[in-house]
Amino acid sequence: MNRFVDLSPEVQEALANGKPVVALESTIISHGMPYPKNVETAVAVENVIRENGAVPATIAIIGGRIKVGLTPDELEYFGKKGLAITKTSRRDIPVIVGKGEDGATTVSATMIIAAMAGIGVFATGGIGGVHRGAETTMDISADLDEFAQTPVLVVCAGAKAILDLNLTMEYLETKGVPVFGYQTDDLPAFYSRKSGIKVPNRADSPEELAKVWNTKRELGLAGGMLVTNPIPEQYSMDSDKINAAIDEAIEAMNQAGIKGKEATPFLLDKVQKLTGGESLESNIQLVLNNAKLAAQIAANL
């Protein structure tokens, strides 16, 4: 392990004994949900992973130390500080560590750190992707290039329609990333179970996913794999309602001239405000659902 990384005792013990471990990101805590729901959710997600036979490893940078596994006090500190923490993707890691600051790791940064620690499975809510209008803005999340090079399987609930889902799938194809739908042929669209876009592969059990993931690694093929897991039926939102909110949020973003790394947090916050508590509750439930599947996959490796 490099000298910048601290493993929590629980994670260290699990890795040393070959127990299943699931990585979790921290931008979803600081930038994805409001306090105190963010901390409550982070704790609940960790518990779901434990209940399903794996050890959770929430990843963040605190005072320049790369943490793999946070204490309850660290989670609380992180959730409370929220947007004041620097959103940290691949390019930001050396800056935050070098300056000794706090960093909330996105999907790309969390994958990199998970791989450093030897963790191969990671659960989150939504991934970054190709933004609508990317043909002129070139706003393509660093998450997508990470899938092409870093060996971590990521379970998400598909991608939010703040993104161009077709272009996101095209980009992942170009980058050679296997994408699975879990018990579905239709790419999940985060708040709703279906996007109307066909997902390239389907798997119906954690065993199947573990088998393909092991095969990819044994073949020596670089990069990760993406598993898209539909939100449970009872929490899925009406797609017309959510899409109207997303359109309004994108309009507001363009009006305000927001771009770069601020784009996604702005859109997440705006959509949450426009749809009230309903979208927040859906968001929490889909993360719990993804944590469960990720733990089951990790247990089958």
> Which residues contact ligand PSU (rule: CB under 6 A)?
25, 27-28, 31-32, 89, 106-107, 125-128, 141-143, 160, 261, 264, 268
Residue 102's binding partner, choosing from ligand PSU, Mn ion, none, with beta-carbon cut-off 5 to 8 A by kind?
Answer: none
Q: Residue 207 contacts by C-beta under 8 Å, 6 or more apart in sequence? A: 300
Q: Using CB positions, name the residue nearest to Mn ion.
A: 139
* Catalytic residue chosen out of the listed positions 87, 160, 261, 292: 160
Which residue, 140, 208, 202, is CA-closest to 174? 140
Q: Around 92, how many Cα atoms within 13 Å sit in the side-chain half-sphere? A: 23
| Closest to ligand PSU by CB, 15 or 227 | 227
Q: Using CB positions, name the residue nearest to ligand PSU.
A: 126
* Catalytic residue chosen out of the listed positions 25, 67, 261, 270: 25
| Closest to ligand PSU by CB, 67 or 160 | 160
| Closest to ligand PSU by CB, 25 or 102 | 25
Residue 181's binding partner, choosing from Mn ion, ligand PSU, none, with beta-carbon cut-off 5 to 8 A by kind?
Answer: none
| Nearest distance from C-beta of residue 45 to Mn ion, angstroms | 24
Residue 31 · residue 76 · CB < 8 Å: no
Q: Is the peptide bond before 36 cis (omega within 30 degrees of 0)?
A: yes
25 in active site: yes
Q: Which residues bind Mn ion (CB under 5 A)?
A: 139
- 106 vs 91: CA distance, rounded Å: 11
Residue 28's binding partner, choosing from Mn ion, ligand PSU, none, with beta-carbon cut-off 5 to 8 A by kind?
Answer: ligand PSU
| Nearest distance from C-beta of residue 263 to Mn ion, angstroms | 6
| Closest to ligand PSU by CB, 14 or 129 | 129
| Closest to ligand PSU by CB, 261 or 292 | 261
Phi, psi dihedral angles at 63 (to 5 degrees): 55, 35
> In Å, what is the CA distance from 254 to each residue of 131, 247, 250?
12, 11, 6
- 286 vs 301: CA distance, rounded Å: 23
- 176 vs 156: CA distance, rounded Å: 18
261 in active site: no
- 236 vs 278: CA distance, rounded Å: 10
| Nearest distance from C-beta of residue 53 to ligand PSU, angstroms | 26
Residue 299's binding partner, choosing from ligand PSU, Mn ion, none, with beta-carbon cut-off 5 to 8 A by kind?
Answer: none
Catalogue the active-site residues. Answer: 25, 160
